Structure 1
Amino acid sequence: MDSSRAGRPSQVRPRPPSGSRPAPVRTRPLAPSPTRLSRHRQIDRRRDLPLVAKAFLALAIVALAASIAWIGSGGIGPVVSGIAGSFGGIVDRIGDAVASQSPTPAPLVTDVPTIPPPEEPYTSDELLDVTVTVPTAVVGQDGYSVRLWATPKDAPRTIVAEVAVGPTSVLVIPGITLTAGRNDLQASIVGPGGESELSTVVTWVLDTVPPKVTIISPKDGASVAKNSVKIRGKTQARSTVLVRNDRNGATASTEADQDGLFEVTVAVGTGTNPITVTATDLAGNANSKVVNIVKGSGKLLVKLTGTTYRFKASKLPRNVTFTVSVTGPDGKPVKGATVLFTVTIPGLEAIVSGELQTRADGTASFGTRIPSGALAGSGLASVLVTTDDYGAGTDRQVLTVE
């Protein structure tokens, strides 16, 4: 029954249907307040797509159509095969990489070899055997070697040899060629981990030039009266100087100083003494010079000799020759001295030579014949020498007749 009045709803709440839940209460929604709406921005909902999106969509449709046409023509086969092949290659490379994983890196070579320095760096040998001391850590190890570096004078450093390390720490590298002058040598260890630093520089000096020898005093042919003579000269610094008198075999030695000067005394004998001065430098090069020294007695020296001094009376006559040697006070031969020989034999008249002159070597000779008829006994051979500068001198020899 409708209880509304004039079209307005009744103020009486209708009874809910029996046996059911109450009907929901209908409420009128309220509009939000203006202040609340002011906090939010109105969402602009566009119904059409942007221009860029539309262009992209068109290109996608064209590409899709081309792909469908290409697949329909059978072009997909090679692509699939290529992709499969590429994938197989990638798999193979991954397998190889897994199967051959990188080994542990070799340790760096930190130990440095050494080259023992020579006792004397100067040498005249162009070929050199170099000894290298190898670090204990690499002795006998495979893959390690000794590299030898050389730096000649005014030249860059270069590798001159490389030899594998041996079972001991001492390694000899033979036949290294040196250049004239200074040669700086260094060594390094080369191994799987690289190359070590270079060793300390060791120097050899190749010298093949003999030293010059100069005799300062005495002058060649000088005379002395003493039993020894002092030789002064100059040669290469620190050279060994050996002096030998070829007349009597006397020797003496010394070492030249830093300026090459030397002084040495050697014994001399009467007469001419050929003295050989030999200088040997640090590299072993030698050079010699000869100086002649004459030792005098301080007076005129006359010496008589004969081819024989004994005769048998039964074997006379017999030829004989007498020779005189004349030396001045300065020890030099006297040329042009006047000589007279006299020979006396028991039972015979005296035999006298004519006046003779000494030759350039200070000698004069007289040959005669001892006749038969001599008696047994002692005779005499004598010589008289007269000089303008040194006066006169004599000598004699006893003759025997049997």
Structure 2
Amino acid sequence: MLGTGPRAAARQAAVLFVVAGLLALVGILNDPLHTGRLLVVAACDLSLALIGLLVPWRRFGRYGPAVLGLAGFGVLGLSTWSFGGVAAGTGPFLVLLYAWAALHFPRWILALFAIPATLAYLVPLILTGQPPLVLGSAGVLMPIALAVAFLIEAQARGLRDERDRLSRIEQWRAAMINTLAHDVRAPLSTVHLVLEDLQETATGPYVKMIAAALRQTARIARLADGLLDLHRIDSTGHLKLDRAPHAAHLLVKDALSYVREDADVRTDVDENLIVHVDKQRFEQILMNLISNALRYGREPVIVRFTRDATGDRLEVRDHGTGIPDHLRPRLFGQFAVGGEQGVGLGLWIVRQLAAAHGGQAAAEAREPGVAMVVTFPPPPGTPSDQQ
């Protein structure tokens, strides 16, 4: 029912006609002398509602449901006549019908509606012999209805234009992400093959250097895949995970192999802790948090991985100046705190990956510094998971 397009417009009109039909039936209680006329009005309103719901309006183009408005004005005229020329109820409904039209149709249709709307209002008053003062009320009602309709139409048009602009931006962003991710893989594969060939004949300190380069190229390749996955999260809300049990200390150890050797990163992880996560996604989470701590905070950076009754808790703490209270709630938003050293996507990626695991990400104040905390649900089969 909500939204735009011919189908939504027709369904919204159907709701209006249902309300009008029910009001006509209620009106019988107040005016039993005109029961037959009011039953006809109710039948017309409910018939229009069925037409609005059942007809495949998309076949008739964007402005097809406008005919429902024309029919609605006719029923309004019949309703005014049925009530003996009393327009106290039909006048406001005429404005409401105009407001509905303004949400879905351009100004030229609203202007064309002025003629049938005016006739629907005046003709029943004339037929029932209303005095000139009552007939003159059309000179007040119709300009007000048009003014309200034009204001609503302008606002709706502005919102549609903004939605179209955002849609174009999203299409451009999606194309950029796909291009970037795919274009990174091709040259990276060549670099990886060259490094593997060099590794076979390398000696001395070059063996270690090439091994480090191979690890980093493999990580960049995984990041490119992750970028595509994150685009899918943003567009569909779903990410397929390859979750399996892993020793937590080994996961942390593998991830830290990508950190520069001179970085002061310390760990506090129980060697007996087994966690149920996607290894690649967990590595992305941890590396983003450590990189963020090294870039914006101060060493040492402490990595803790613990378990309590609620699940597993990964904490990466730095010893910097901390983050103001008003910034912490929005740290994990897209482009939230980008600057000269980054674009503000790292923590957003962390939040998306945590959510894909069924967990959460948050920032907690420390003295000194700040702790980025990611929680994971307990592994299947644990007592806390079974509760």
TM-score by length of 1: 0.18
Which is strand-richer, 1 or 2?
Answer: 1
TM-score by length of 2: 0.18
Which is helix-richer, 1 or 2?
Answer: 2
